[in-house]
A and B are shown apart, each in its own frame.
Chain A
Amino acid sequence: MAEVHLKLPASEQDVRALRAGDTVYVTGLLFTARDEAHLRALEWQHEGKPLPVKFTEGALYHCGPIMKKEGERWRIVAAGPTTSSRMNSLEPQFLEKIGARLIIGKGGMSKGVGEAMKKHGAAYLAFTGGAAVLAARRVREVRGVHWLDLGMPEAVWVLDAEEFGPLTVGMDASGGSLFEEVARQVEKNTAEAKKRLGLS
């Protein structure tokens, strides 16, 4: 398994070369987006309204950070990933209509998202859930914020990150998925657990 250092925006070629299980560090812009930002981005795109950021210029980060305003500037306090599966129903459309090469989050995403990533040349990178101070330390600068009316966690924060990671390629652009490998192992172990609990 390789260790890869990527500059953002990553090229389709770089992303397609990633394999599930690889370790990745990214340098460049991260755009945070959770449920509400996904909904609004898709709504605005549908209505033909221009979006405030070009998501393809960096990586999409499933994250709702803690930020503190100091004078006119925002300081990042804590910024770990949020549960990606909440965006399962929105991400295929997002990849198709708005676009993103890399999605950073935790917990993995559905088969449907995997298919969309394969089609559009995108990969899913898993960061340790809850490791919010580690994540914040890899952010050099908060470049700005959009849609703050959605509330601090749901707004789109533009973060300039350096060597952000370690990230594990959870789902690659060829259909490889670490989460599916784990699921197969869990299925095997479940038979044993049922036996121990007298359920089979």
Chain B
Amino acid sequence: MAGIPDKVIEDTVVELLRLAVTKLPADVEAALKRIFDEETGTAPRMQMTAILENLKLAQETGTPLCQDTGIHVFFVKLGAECGDIEKLIRNGVERATKEVPLRPNAVHPVTRKNPGTNLGVHMPYIYYEPGADGYIEITVMPKGAGSENMSQMAMLTPSAGEKGIKEFALNTILRAGSNPCPPILIGMGIGGSADICMGLAKKALLRPIGSSNPDPDMARLEKELYGALNGIGIGPMGLGGRNTLLGFHIEHAFCHTASHPVAINIQCWAARKATARIHPDGKVEYLTHDAKGGKKGVK
């Protein structure tokens, strides 16, 4: 098949995984530094010092910053010709597991058998999205279990209204407590159907930290929830402190008049993501990270 060579895509997947697990994007690092500056207590200062020192060491040594390198969720926009993208992503995950290395996390959900490759049925998982014209865009989100395990979804009744959404947000954050490695990023989905809602919550985690939903009603709700819940006192690693949240992002979809779905997907402080655009001439542009050895963003 004509189009972008297989090797370029596979190599880019390996590089995206390596970048994602060894270095946080600039928006996440900036949020963590701001929180370090704002914390005054002994325990939160100690936690934020360890977090920032660990980031520095991971980057200097090219080592995964957290041992939980997650399961691998991909978001792909296909706007150019290429070969079998799923196969290339799977090859990339298998190679990165050995080469970076990543921890083999993917197991059979019932037998719990671990093949050691991070590959299995529907794993890595790939979301296909529209919106690319003349290039392929690949985003990887390595998702750790500590935060994922604290995620929640509810099918509220429409009469619960905005109040229901706020109660759900408060209760989910309280229930998560120290477990998801705070300060955490909240991705909230509102509307759609059960599956759409949770997918939106996950997608909200990809937005730059502190960005607003373009819908003014959603932006207001984001601001209000962040303002009221960041100071809840759980603090870095749940040992108390001024900041519990990195940010509060909402994505929404219209829903059935009889439905009121709401979901929260939680992301730990190690809010890892990496995105690259691959052009038909083989040029690879890294949107979230500086490229290896080359000038900024382009390899």
Alpha-carbon distance between A136 and B54 when the two chains are bound, in angstroms:
10
- The answer to whether A137 and B181 touch across the interface, beta carbons within 8 angstroms, is no
Q: Is B25 an interface residue (CB 8 A)?
A: no
Judging by beta carbons under 8 Å apart, are B46 and A166 in contact? yes
Judged by a CB distance under 8 angstroms, whether B206 is at the interface is no
A83-B146 contact, Cβ under 8 Å, with A132-B64, A168-B46: yes
Question: Quick one: given A128-B50, A153-B105, are A133 and B170 in contact (CB under 8 Å)?
Answer: no
How big is the A interface, by class? Answer: 35 or more
The distance from the CB of B213 to the nearest CB of chain A, in whole angstroms, is 18
- Which residues in A have their C-beta under 8 angstroms from that of B105? 153
B139: Cβ under 8 A from any A Cβ: no
Is A189 engaged at the interface, CB distance under 8 Å to the other chain?
yes
Binds A, one of B223-231, B252-260, B283-291: B223-231
Fill in one digit per residue for A174-200: 1 if any B CB lies within 8 Å of its CB, else 0.
Answer: 000011011101101110011011110
B159 touches A (CB below 8 Å): no
Q: A170 CA to B177 CA in the complex, in Å?
A: 14
Contact status B63-A77, CB under 8 Å: yes
Query: Which of B103, B145, B227: most chain A CB closer than 10 A?
Result: B103
- Taken together as a complex, chains A and B put the C-alpha atoms of A104 and B112 apart, in Å, by 25
Beyond A182-B233, A193-B228, whether A66 also contacts B102 by CB under 8 A is yes
B230 nearest CB across to chain A (Å): 9
Provide the A65-106 mask, 1 if CB < 8 A to any CB of B, else 0.
Answer: 110100000000111101101100000000000000000001
Chain B count of residues within 8 A CB distance of the other chain: 57
Stretch at the interface among B65-73, B78-86, B122-130, B186-194: B65-73
**A199 and B240 contact, CB distance less than 8 A:** no
Is B58 a contact of A133 with CB atoms below 8 Å? yes
**Interface status of A152 (Cβ within 8 A of chain B):** yes
Within 8 A of A (CB), among B233-249: 233-235, 237-240
CB atoms of B237 and A129 under 8 A apart: yes
> Are A166 and B63 in contact (CB-based, < 8 A)?
no
A65 to B145, CA, bound (A): 14
Q: Restricting to A118-177, which residues have a CB under 8 Å from any CB of B?
A: 126, 128-134, 136-137, 150-154, 166, 168, 170
B116 touches A151 (CB 8 A): yes
CA–CA, A170 to B50, complex, Å?
16
CB-CB under 8 A from B170, the residues of chain A are 190, 193-194, 197, 199
- Render B174-199 as a binary contact track against A, CB cut-off 8 A, 1 for contact: 10011101000000000000000000
A170 to B, closest residue via Cβ:
B239
CB distance from B35 to the nearest CB of A (A): 13
Q: Is the CB of A133 within 8 A of B104?
A: no
Shortest Cβ distance from residue A109 to the other chain B in the assembled complex, whole angstroms: 10
* Contact B232 A132, beta carbon cutoff 8 Å: no
Q: Is B166 in the interface zone, CB < 8 Å from A? A: yes
Known A-B contacts A83-B149, A133-B57, A134-B57; A107 and B178 likewise in contact (beta carbons under 8 Å):
yes
Give Cα distance in the complex from A80 to B64, angstroms: 11
In contact, A137 and B64 (Cβ under 8 angstroms): no
Asked if B104 contacts A152 (CB within 8 A), the reply is yes
Q: Is the CB of B233 within 8 A of A186?
A: yes
Assess the B237–A132 pair: CB atoms within 8 A. no
The answer to whether A196 touches B227, judged by C-beta atoms less than 8 angstroms apart, is: yes
Residue of A nearest to B50 (CB): A128
Report B-chain residues with C-beta under 8 Å of the C-beta of A170: 239
Determine whether the beta carbon of A178 is less than 8 Å from that of B239.
yes
B163 at the interface (CB under 8 A from A): yes
Known A77-B64, A137-B57; contact A83-B179, beta-carbon cutoff 8 A: yes
Whether B63 contacts A197 by the Cβ 8 Å rule is no
Q: Which residue of A lies closest to B182 (CB)?
A: A129
CA distance in complex: A198, B53 (Å): 40
Bound: A182/B227 CA distance, A: 20
Nearest chain-B residue to A186 (Cβ)? B233
Contact (A129, B146) CB under 8 Å given A77-B63, A151-B116:
yes
| 4 nearest A-B pairs in the assembled complex, by CB-CB distance | A151-B114, A128-B50, A129-B181, A78-B67
Known: A63-B67, A65-B103, A190-B232. 10 other contacts (CB 8 A): A83-B149, A130-B65, A136-B63, A151-B113, A178-B240, A183-B177, A186-B232, A188-B233, A190-B170, A190-B174
Could you list 6 examples of A-B contacts with CB < 8 Å? A21-B43, A77-B67, A134-B54, A152-B103, A186-B233, A189-B233
